[in-house]
Amino acid sequence: MVALKRDKEEKGDKKKGKNKAAGKEEIKECPECGSKSLVRDYGKAEIFCADCGLVISENIVDLGPEWRAFDSEQMSRRARVGAPMTYRIHDKGLSTVVTWGSQSQGQRLKKWQQRTHIANTTERSFIFALSEIDRMACALRLPVNIREAASMLYRKAMKKRLIRGRSIEGITSALLYITCRQYGVPRTLEEVREISRVEQKEISRAYRFLLRELNLKVSPASPIDFVPRFCSLLDLGGDIRSKAIEIIKKATEAELTNGRGPIGIAAAAIYIAAILSGEHRTQKEVSDVTGVTEVTIRNRYKELSEQLEIDVLL
């Protein structure tokens, strides 16, 4: 983890240097994951990475100085995550309290110990949860803003006493899954499971539980949200990406996406877009990246090409 942090900081430094040299150069790729699919959302006045969801600039007006803001913001966010300190202070305080006492304070002491024991274990599991969120977010190449959001949700769940008796692994995995969806850069359940230590069943159980208990609304993922990441995993360029998105938009208009899994739609659209652009990827390759079977890709792709009257000649 330390190594990863250093790696990131180096990246940032490199970028900064480059920026200084070129003056007001436009940001071309995500400093977090290196993806080139940056999206300008003028409605929200921000630039974010379509691959990992990192908000790079929240005020598009002035690009230059915004870089520093991004860096220092990242620093302060990182600094705020440092829960272990409280734990240490907490622990130290304990040892001094216990020393003096007489008579009936034996019982009082017991109570204290019990209470501090509880405080200790919840504190400890909280720290563990944060480190788990961090570990998994690293593995999924998610930016700090999403990590922070997931941590905040965890805190919320803790305040509502939703954690006790449940596996931290399941909760944290589900929270990351939720947060990714909320930030418009969904990960598949399978991707989350791969880096999680619990099985998919438990993650989805925790997912449903948290949505209910925290009153969270997660709109169904759009196939479009998956396109940038799948495309870069398949080493397909921006033209194919936009072609795939165009296909999905048409498909949505024609109501071909209703009731269908968004990942399958995305997979098929990418498959078609790649062929149309002369950069053929086999159904197997697309299937490996997206996690849906070739059969599903075939079914979606048949529906799409027939209904949208796209001639796909191999």
**Residue 27, both tokens:** 């940001």
Q: Is 252 in the site for DNA (CB under 7 A)?
A: no
In the chain, the largest separation of any two C-alpha atoms, in whole Å, equals: 90
Q: Is 212 in the site for DNA (CB under 7 A)?
A: no
Stretch that binds DNA, among 19-27, 69-77, 104-112, 254-262 (CB under 7 A): 254-262
Question: Quick one: DSSP state of residue 253?
Answer: H
Q: Quick one: 57 or 296, whose CB is closer to DNA?
A: 296
Of 194 and 294, the one with the shorter C-beta distance to DNA is 294
Contacts with DNA by CB under 7 A: the residue count is 24
3-class DSSP state of 116: helix
In angstroms, what is the C-alpha Rg of the chain?
A: 24
Binding segment (CB under 7 A) for DNA, from list 39-47, 67-75, 95-103, 200-208: 200-208
Stretch of residues binding DNA (CB under 7 A), selected from 12-20, 55-63, 67-75, 297-305: 297-305
Among 264, 266, 269, 289, binds DNA (CB under 7 A): 264
Nearer to DNA, 6 or 201 (CB): 201
Contact 233, 51 (CB under 8 A): no
Q: Smallest distance, Å, CB 173 to DNA? A: 14
Q: Quote the tokens at residue 8.
A: 């990131």
Residues 6+ apart with CB under 8 A from 141: 32, 33, 51, 52
CB of 145 or CB of 290, closer to DNA: 290
Write out the two tokens for 297: 């890709």
Contacts of 237 (CB under 8 A, 6+ apart): 231, 279
- With tokens 């993922």, the residue in question is 221
Q: Which residues in this chain contact DNA in the complex, by CB under 7 A?
A: 200-201, 204, 208, 259-261, 264, 280, 282-284, 291-296, 298-302, 314
